[in-house]
Amino acid sequence: MDDVKYFPYGEKELAYLRKKDKKLSAVINRVGHIERAVDDDLFSAVVHHIVGQQISTKAQATVWARVQNALGTVDAEHVLGYGEVNLQSLGISLRKAEYITDFAEKIRSGAFNLESVKYMSDADAIRTLSSLKGIGVWTAEMILLFCLQRPNVFSYDDLAIQRGLRMVYHHRKIDRKLFEKYHRRFSPYCSVASLYLWEVSGGAIPGMRDYALVNK
């Protein structure tokens, strides 16, 4: 797929993070460059993230492929034309189908200005997106990172980020105060730091373990 786009970052961001943190620098050197796909269509990204809530990554990929094949173009008109019942036939729960059609109706009616989100600050964009049914703060943060490609997203509610921090820095627990210390350290490139912490959490570096699980 030649048209796949990846989260953009390069030596400027890596040099900054290496300078700020020796342990993260070692992780960056071990893992190398990370290619994480992004979807720069905001409507599609919102639907995609609703579909993926509380299911495995593999299941999300399967259901999302069905959605794309069924709709052709993932936009408000196609969603509403396809309908709630048909969405459920693709493996989407009733509640998620309701969220998706409610979102599409808000876009079609003009009740929600999706385009304006692109020009908001991170905090305002998260607040606005999480006003939609089915979109919480964590989902909004993921949309900022993987759709809007904002450079400084660092999600306290992301369990894999917390796990990655425990593994790299040997913490038993990541409370809000400790999290904010790393947030300040990695800013303004928290999104890139997040990519590496997700890799660590997923087992990218053999021998690293989660210290929350030691001596329980």
Q: Which of the listed CATH numbers 3.30.1340.30, 1.10.1670.40, 3.40.50.12780, 3.30.950.10 matches domain 5-34+153-213?
A: 1.10.1670.40
Inform me whether the pLDDT recorded for 1 exceeds 70.
no
Residue 132 has φ and ψ, to the nearest 5°, of -75, 145
> Per residue in 69-79, is it b (16+ CB within 10 Å) or e — as a string?
eebeebbbeeb
Inform me whether the pLDDT recorded for 157 exceeds 70.
yes
Mean pLDDT of the region 114-122: 97
- Given a contact cutoff of 8 angstroms between Cβ atoms, the answer to whether 171 and 214 are in contact is no
Model pLDDT for residues 4-43, shown as the tens digit of each residue = 899 999 999 999 999 999 999 999 999 999 999 999 999 9
Mean pLDDT of the region 114-119: 96
pLDDT grade for 133, boundaries at 50, 70 and 90: very high
Residue 3 has a pLDDT of 79
Inform me whether the pLDDT recorded for 204 exceeds 90.
yes
The rounded distance, in Å, linking the Cα atoms of 26 and 1 is: 32
Q: What is the dihedral of CA 194, 36, 144, 210, to 10 degrees?
A: -30
CATH 3.40.50.1100 fits 41-146, yes or no: no
Place of tokens 């509403």: 80
Task: Give ranges for CATH 1.10.340.30 in the chain.
Answer: 41-146
- Given a contact cutoff of 8 angstroms between Cβ atoms, the answer to whether 165 and 201 are in contact is no
pLDDT grade for 213, boundaries at 50, 70 and 90: low
Residue 23 has a pLDDT of 98
Residue 98 has a pLDDT of 97
Mean pLDDT of the region 160-171: 97
Report the mean per-residue pLDDT for the chain: 95
The rounded distance, in Å, linking the Cα atoms of 104 and 46 is: 10
Task: Give ranges for CATH 1.10.1670.40 in the chain.
Answer: 5-34+153-213
8 to each of 3, 146, 148, 189, how far by Cα in Å? 14, 10, 11, 11
Inform me whether the pLDDT recorded for 100 exceeds 50.
yes
Report if pTM > 0.75. Answer: yes
The residues facing 6 across adjacent strands are: 37
